[in-house]
Amino acid sequence: MEDYIQYEASDGVATITLNRPDRRNAQNQEFLEQLNAAWERAAADDTARVILLRANGPHFSAGHDITPRAPGDTGPTIMETIPETGLLGLYQWEAKHYLGFSRRWRDIPKPSIAAVQGACIAGGLLLAWPCDLIVAADNARFSDPVVLMGIGGVEYHGHTWELGARKAKELLFTAKPIDAVEAERRGMVNRVVPVAELDAASRTLAIEIAQMHPHALAMAKRAVNQTLDIMGQHTALQACFDIHQLGHASAYAQSGQFVLTGLKGMKAKIA
């Protein structure tokens, strides 16, 4: 089994590292299940008061692994792992591995910080957005270009909450990335640091927060998340997940595939 995810805990901080740098931390089923296991380990780890999610390599995550199997890669691709039960199977698989995992990480009652460098594309947002804080390297760029595949946005619709309505629409309509400075201006990231300082800056922030009373931190986090949910975030995420599935259904009706082939353009943007 590939070691896609690393876990380490010290100084009150559980550090979860995405460790598939040769594939830009693209996510297959094994990757996501290892990542979820690491989050659950951090949630249960009494020595860990803060969870820091970081990535090995130049890019945080290129998103879901929808490419054909690479030579020497034993892990299944996303499309290979979808059960042969058609659209309902796809719905159930994505409800668990995408919306479900991201929601679970969002609600773990410990503060979490994502440290993001390089590309954070589409499914990459599903790893960063559920974190409470985001520290971005100055070379970070965030995008969701799935309109190029006939889909209206990734499975976890954080866009409008994170960026506001107009910028969310621009991000989706143009398929172009926003950079770290713009993301900070919009409130999507907490701070921007030079890429060489990303690890030190995010760890320093994590250790600072780990000094606080854990129950107070949990309550502070719950207060903000409950406020968002009273504003409708929980049901909006579910509603937009269903809209996402309508995109898959539409693509399937047109082409017999769950996404349309705009894939070439998308891969060009990732490179």
**Under the rule (CB under 5 A), what is the footprint of Zn ion?**
94
Instruction: Indicate the residue among 63 and 111 with the shorter CB distance to Zn ion.
Output: 63
One DSSP character per residue, 77-141 reads PHHHHS-SSHHHHHHHHHIIIIIIHHHHHHHSSS-EEEEE-SEEEGGGHHHHTTSSEEEEETT-E
Minimum CB separation of residue 243 from Zn ion in Å reads 11
Instruction: Indicate the residue among 94 and 162 with the shorter CB distance to Zn ion.
Output: 94
Instruction: Indicate the residue among 13 and 146 with the shorter CB distance to Zn ion.
Output: 146
Instruction: Indicate the residue among 125 and 198 with the shorter CB distance to Zn ion.
Output: 125
Residue 194 C-alpha from the chain's centroid: 22
Minimum CB separation of residue 248 from Zn ion in Å reads 6
Instruction: Indicate the residue among 143 and 202 with the shorter CB distance to Zn ion.
Output: 143
Residue nearest Zn ion, Cβ-based: 94
One DSSP character per residue, the chain reads ----EEEEEETTEEEEEE--GGGTT-B-HHHHHHHHHHHHHHHH-TT-SEEEEEESSS-SB--B--SPPPTT--SPPHHHHS-SSHHHHHHHHHIIIIIIHHHHHHHSSS-EEEEE-SEEEGGGHHHHTTSSEEEEETT-EEE--GGGGT-SS-SS--HHHHH-HHHHHHHHHH---EEHHHHHHTTSSSEEE-GGGHHHHHHHHHHHHHTS-HHHHHHHHHHHHHHHHHTTHHHHHHHHHHHHHHHHHHHHHHHSSSS-S-HHHHHHHH-
* Cα gap 258→173, rounded to integer Å: 20
Minimum CB separation of residue 245 from Zn ion in Å reads 7
Minimum CB separation of residue 142 from Zn ion in Å reads 18
Minimum CB separation of residue 28 from Zn ion in Å reads 14
Instruction: Indicate the residue among 20 and 248 with the shorter CB distance to Zn ion.
Output: 248
Minimum CB separation of residue 244 from Zn ion in Å reads 6
Instruction: Indicate the residue among 214 and 262 with the shorter CB distance to Zn ion.
Output: 262
Minimum CB separation of residue 71 from Zn ion in Å reads 26
